[in-house]
Amino acid sequence: MSFDQITLWISASVLHLLIFFRAVHEKTLRHYKAFYTYVAFVSAVSLARIFICWKYGYYSRQYYYGYHITNFPMPVFQLLVLLDLYGQFIGYSKISWKRVGKFVTVAVVIAAPLAWKVFRTPNVSPFLGYDVFTLLLQVPACLVVCRAYGARRDVDFGRNLKGIFMGIALMVALQTINFANLVLAGSSYSVFSFLAQFIYFLALAIFAYTLWNFDPVRVLEPVDMQLFDKVNQDVQQAVKTFLSSR
C-alpha cells in the first residue's frame, strides 16, 4: 500500500470520528438515522480492513476477500440513505411503495444490459461486476431524489440534508466512472484503488462540513417564495440575454 493510500485511510478514519463527534454534540443522530447507520457501518468495515491488512498484508488473499465481502452490503446502505432522503424531501406519508417498485423495475431493466456486458468481459471478478451493477442502480436513484428535491420549492431542507445528498450523489457518480473505467477500459488497479479511497474521502469531507451544525428543515414564508421566484426569473433572463448575445 502506498503512502498516499495510508494517508487517505487515516484521514477518512479521523473524519468518521469527527462526524460522529459533531452528531453527538449537535444531537442530530435521531434526525438522520439512515445516514449515520451507513457511516457507522463503513467505520466498522474500515477498522476490520485495517486489522486484516495489518495481520495478513495488503496484497494477501485474506484482504482481497475481506475487502469485497465487507463491501457487499455497502450499496444496500447507500440505497437506504437515498430512500430516506426521498422520504424527507416528499414527505414519508406520500411515499408510494407501488411507485418505488416500478422505479426499481425500470432501474434494473436499464442497468441489466450494461451489467451483462460487465459480467461478459474477460477476467472480471463477480465482485467487481456486482459493484458496477449496484452503482448503475444508484445513479437513477440519485436522479429520482434530485427530482423530488427540486419539486419542493416551498421548503428549505437545510444544509444537513443538502450536504448528505450532495456527498452521496458525488460519490455515486464518481465511483461509477471509476469502476467502469477499471472494468471496461482496463485502468490499472492501483489507480482505481487510490481513486476509490479519494472519492470516499471527498464525500466524507462534504459530510463533515455540512453536518458541523444542525440546520433543520424549514417551510419558506410567502415573502421568501416571492424572493426565490424573483431571483429565479432574473437568472433565467440573464441566461437568455447571454445566449442571444452570442
Angle between helices 158-184 and 126-151 (to 10 degrees): 150
What does the pLDDT average to over 111-139? 77
Q: How many CB atoms lie within 10 A of CB 222?
A: 8
The C-alpha cell that represents 172 in the structure block: 455515486
- What is the average pLDDT score of the chain? 82
Q: Alpha-carbon distance 145 to 89, whole Å?
A: 8
Q: Is 195 helix (H, G, I), strand (E, B) or coil?
A: helix
The C-alpha cell that represents 77 in the structure block: 446502505
Listing DSSP states for 59-82 in one string gives TSHHHHHHHHHHHTTHHHHHHHHH
Largest CA distance in the chain: 65
Taking alpha carbons only, the member of 193, 206, 179, 177 closest to residue 9 is 193
pLDDT band of 242, cuts 50, 70, 90: low
Q: Are 168 and 142 in contact (CB under 8 A)?
A: yes
pLDDT, one tens digit per residue, over 191-229 is: 888 898 899 999 999 999 999 999 988 876 654 555 555
Listing DSSP states for 126-177 in one string gives HHHHHHHHHHHHHHHHHHHHHHHHHH-TTEE-HHHHHHHHHHHHHHHHHHHH
Higher pLDDT, 128 or 76: 76
What does the pLDDT average to over 125-149? 84
pLDDT at position 243 over 60: no
pLDDT at position 6 over 70: yes
What does the pLDDT average to over 126-144? 84
Give φ, ψ of 157 to 5 degrees: -80, 0
Q: Are 225 and 154 in contact (CB under 8 A)?
A: yes
pLDDT at position 38 over 70: yes
pLDDT, one tens digit per residue, over 60-73 is: 899 889 888 998 99
Instruction: Report pLDDT for 166.
Output: 94
Percent of the chain topping pLDDT 90? 29
Q: Are 34 and 83 in contact (CB under 8 A)?
A: yes
Instruction: Report pLDDT for 74.
Output: 92
Taking alpha carbons only, the member of 67, 27, 56 closest to residue 214 is 27
The pTM for the full model equals 0.80
